[in-house]
Amino acid sequence: MRVPAGAIAGFIGPNGAGKTTTIRLLLGLVRPDAGSATVLGHSLTQFERYLPRVGALVEAPAFYPGLSGRTNLEVLARLGGHPGSRVNELLEVVGLSDRARDRVGTYSLGMKQRLGVAMALLPDPELLILDEPANGLDPLGIIEIREMLRRLAGQGKTILLSSHLLGELEQLTDWLIMLNQGKALFCGPARDLLAQRVEVVVEAQDAVQLDLVARIAGEAGYAATREDHVLRIACSAGFAETLNRQAREAGAPDLTIRVREASLEQLFLALLKGDRS
């Protein structure tokens, strides 16, 4: 797997796929048993050479609950040797200026997440690694995080973003990595993945005909999802015509078949099913 400089890379996979472990490896928090990696041009074994240029938020951030948001950042800036002048700027970036003087113990989960993003930005990093930064945020907070990440990418920062919010990643990322059981199922431009497949929606009142279509799709390597009298198949764009012809030749003439662009969630589930079969 690789991430090009300047990209917003979505890092997705089911629970236990290895996303957080991978992030911990990149940050020097876990030592690898085998394999190799480079971060910002330096080997994983030389993490002291690249970590000063990396900002990260891994799982839930920890702060001093009795101190204000501003004071927490000031303490972290002093410990990390970062300019204290960045504190007010970053509070503005993450939308916490109006609550900067309040104790962190009074913050909501979403506010703590935003303060965690500010913490990750203290070193003005070239690479920003975020593990579920939208955790606990309401829809408005998610939009604010999205806009903030776009601004940061516009400044030339590379962002690796682990998230379960596939619809959000679809709007935000230009690069995707799909992980399952430690293996990358896909790594490349998001547009390439979305262009590879479509969703074929097959409707029929006769359940036998839908079963027949599902079997044809399965034999071609595509998983079908059944909802009452509707079958949904995430497949390659060229398969829709083949499916229509084979279904009618096999004795399923009374079908309504529609083709539409598949969502990232549908593509991801299709890839997972294919990897597990």
Q: Which is higher by pLDDT, 144 or 212?
A: 212
Write down the pLDDT at residue 274.
60
Whether the per-residue pLDDT at 109 is higher than 60: the answer is yes
CA dist 113 and 64 (Å) reads: 14
Confidence band of 89 (pLDDT split at 50, 70, 90) = very high
Write down the pLDDT at residue 277.
40
Whether the per-residue pLDDT at 91 is higher than 90: the answer is yes
Whether the per-residue pLDDT at 194 is higher than 80: the answer is no
Write down the pLDDT at residue 262.
66
* pLDDT per residue as tens digits for the range 62-78: 899 999 999 999 999 99
* pLDDT per residue as tens digits for the range 218-251: 888 887 888 888 888 877 767 888 888 898 888 8
CA dist 146 and 40 (Å) reads: 24
Q: Which fold has domain 8-181?
A: Rossmann fold (3.40.50)
State whether residue 32 is helix, strand or coil: coil
- Cite the residue boundaries of each domain of the chain with CATH code 3.30.70.930: 194-276
- Cite the residue boundaries of each domain of the chain with CATH code 3.40.50.300: 8-181
Write down the pLDDT at residue 270.
66
| 183-189: strand order across its sheet | 54-57, 127-131, 158-162, 8-12, 175-180, 183-189
Planar angle of CA 22, 83, 89, nearest 5 degrees: 85
The CB density around residue 234, as the number of other CB atoms within 10 Å, is 26
CA dist 206 and 212 (Å) reads: 10
State whether residue 161 is helix, strand or coil: strand
**φ, ψ for residue 186, nearest 5 deg:** -155, 140
Confidence band of 197 (pLDDT split at 50, 70, 90) = low
Identify the CATH number of the domain defined by range 194-276.
3.30.70.930
Strands (E), the chain: 8-12, 38-39, 42-43, 54-57, 127-131, 158-162, 175-180, 183-189, 197-203, 224-227, 230-236, 256-261
Whether the per-residue pLDDT at 267 is higher than 50: the answer is yes
Whether the per-residue pLDDT at 135 is higher than 80: the answer is no
To the nearest whole percent, how much of the chain has pLDDT over 90? 38
Token pair listed for 165: 């919010």
Whether the per-residue pLDDT at 128 is higher than 80: the answer is yes
Write down the pLDDT at residue 259.
83
**Which of these ranges, 72-81, 153-162, 198-207, has the smallest mean pLDDT?**
198-207
Question: Strands 54-57, 127-131: parallel, antiparallel or unpaired by DSSP?
Answer: parallel
Q: What is the pTM of this model?
A: 0.76
Write down the pLDDT at residue 196.
62
Burial of 143 (0-12, 13-18, 19+ CB in 10 A): middle
- Which one, of 81, 138, 92, 131, lies nearest residue 115 by Cα? 92
- Which one, of 91, 57, 265, lies nearest residue 161 by Cα? 57
Whether the per-residue pLDDT at 170 is higher than 90: the answer is no
The whole-chain average pLDDT of the chain stands at 87
Q: Which is higher by pLDDT, 207 or 87?
A: 87
